Structure 1
Amino acid sequence: MAAEDLLGLFVAPLEKARIEYMITGAIAATVYGAPRVTEDIDIVVDIKQTDISGMAEVYNPKDYYVPPAQVIALEARRPSRGHFNVIHMATGLKADLYLVGKDPLHLWAMANRRQVRAGKMSCYVAPPEYVIVRKLEFHIEGGSEKHIEDIRRLLAVSGQDIDRPWLENELAKRGLSGMWAKIFEG
């Protein structure tokens, strides 16, 4: 599925509802690096308590599976790692929605998100430093090499645009400096 299709299915409704968001994951890595195939989209959203009951209006229940408002409310109470999925029923495509919460990295990234043009649509993407930090964390959690490859492609294409001092400081705070160094050895 083309990234443009995922944006139309999952980002356009957020734009219409005026919910602040930023795209991350493979789609963001593609924006800053090289394309790769993905069947889902990762989006960080700043959902307010008043937005929770209206999520079924953002994503029409005739076309999308959206968890019950109670589930979203429970996830919204988590200070970090709150998330839920939205599934487009006709295609089976999925959006992983991560809630900003009180996560300092989410808060920093939302304040520094970038507006980019993707096909016919303008959308917000997480800064590349955020993408790198999260990809390293997910690599350590799950061991998937796709995250390391995404980082390498991102660095090859957009490395000059990265705030290296900020990134290296954040990686050191998270105990990821060793993994970061290994990326340059490989």
Structure 2
Amino acid sequence: MEESDFLVRLINKLETAKIPYMVTGSMASGLWGVPRTTNDFDIVIQPTQDQFELFLNSFSEDYYISSDAARDAYRKHTMFNIIDHKTGWKADLIVLKNLPFQKEAFQRRRAGLIFGVKVRVTSPEDAILSKLVWAKSSDSERQIRDASGVIEVQRENLDLDYLRKWAHELGVEEMLEKIIDEADKLKP
């Protein structure tokens, strides 16, 4: 499976450089909820500068990575891309922002399996919240469906107090309550 090969190589490079990370985005919401087709991985990273340089220097010509864009993303706590020429898969690496929700979500990451690969992944609650924040800023129905899928599958296991607290802080409270209500209506 090409995507798992790329994911294994990417995670090995992060772990070799000792960079804390978590898989997020559609891969995480698909793990906890309803999977959907995507062609990229979203990975939040928290490297030191030395770790970051070690990681950057580990890539060969088999990958597209702009070192300048990556270093700029490191300085500004934004995103850069890595593309695997062999598989065509892309990874968006997001340098962890120094914001309360992002820091807490990163602390709450847990072990998971994506394409049979052991990874650190965002929690179901944080996957929901991230999708709702993204939906709010982009008016994306797909993000709402991803969040709804996690709620439908994980409903009995979710920390609703945590979800509601952060939904209020992030300004997505109404969206959250709507999809919780919809999930409750689907229960047998």
- Per the shorter chain, which TM-score range? 0.7 to 0.9
1:168 to 155, 164, 176: 164
Q: CA deviation at 1:107?
A: 1.4
Unaligned runs of 5+ in 1: none
The answer on 1:56 being equivalent to 2:52 is no
2:81 to 85, 90, 102: 85
Is the 8 Å Cα contact of residues 6 and 87 (structure 2) preserved in structure 1?
Answer: no
Return the TM-score normalized by structure 1: 0.87
Alpha carbons of structure 1 residues 148 and 136: separation in structure 2 relative to 1, 3 Å: same
In structure 2, C-alpha distance between the alignment counterparts of 1:57 and 1:63, rounded to whole Å? 13
Alignment partner, residue 155 of structure 1: 151
In structure 2, C-alpha distance between the alignment counterparts of 1:20 and 1:127, rounded to whole Å? 15
2:57 partner SS: helix
In structure 1, C-alpha distance between the alignment counterparts of 2:155 and 2:147, rounded to whole Å? 10
Correspondence list, 1:113-152, <5 A:
113-152=109-148
Alignment partner, residue 66 of structure 2: 67
Alignment partner, residue 37 of structure 1: 37
Q: Structure 1 counterpart of 2:28, which letter?
A: A
Q: Structure 2 counterpart of 1:155, which letter?
A: I
Alignment partner, residue 111 of structure 1: 107
In structure 2, C-alpha distance between the alignment counterparts of 1:17 and 1:102, rounded to whole Å? 21
Unaligned runs of 5+ in 2: 183-188
Return the TM-score normalized by structure 2: 0.86
Q: Structure 2 counterpart of 1:117, which letter?
A: L
Is the 8 Å Cα contact of residues 62 and 85 (structure 2) preserved in structure 1?
Answer: yes
Is the 8 Å Cα contact of residues 55 and 66 (structure 1) preserved in structure 2?
Answer: no
Q: Structure 1 counterpart of 2:31, which letter?
A: V
In structure 1, C-alpha distance between the alignment counterparts of 2:142 and 2:112, rounded to whole Å? 23
Q: Structure 2 counterpart of 1:139, which letter?
A: A
Aligned length, in residue pairs: 182
Alignment partner, residue 182 of structure 1: 178
2:83 partner SS: strand
Alignment partner, residue 186 of structure 2: none
Q: CA deviation at 1:132?
A: 1.0
Q: Structure 1 counterpart of 2:117, which letter?
A: M
Q: CA deviation at 1:9?
A: 4.3
Is the 8 Å Cα contact of residues 32 and 154 (structure 2) preserved in structure 1?
Answer: yes
Q: Structure 2 counterpart of 1:92, which letter?
A: G
Q: Structure 1 counterpart of 2:65, which letter?
A: V
In structure 1, C-alpha distance between the alignment counterparts of 2:28 and 2:171, rounded to whole Å? 23
Is the 8 Å Cα contact of residues 21 and 45 (structure 1) preserved in structure 2?
Answer: yes
Is the 8 Å Cα contact of residues 6 and 40 (structure 1) preserved in structure 2?
Answer: no
Q: What CA RMSD, in Å, does the superposition of the two structures yield over aligned residues?
A: 2.1
> Structure 1 stretches (4+) deviating beyond 6 angstroms?
none
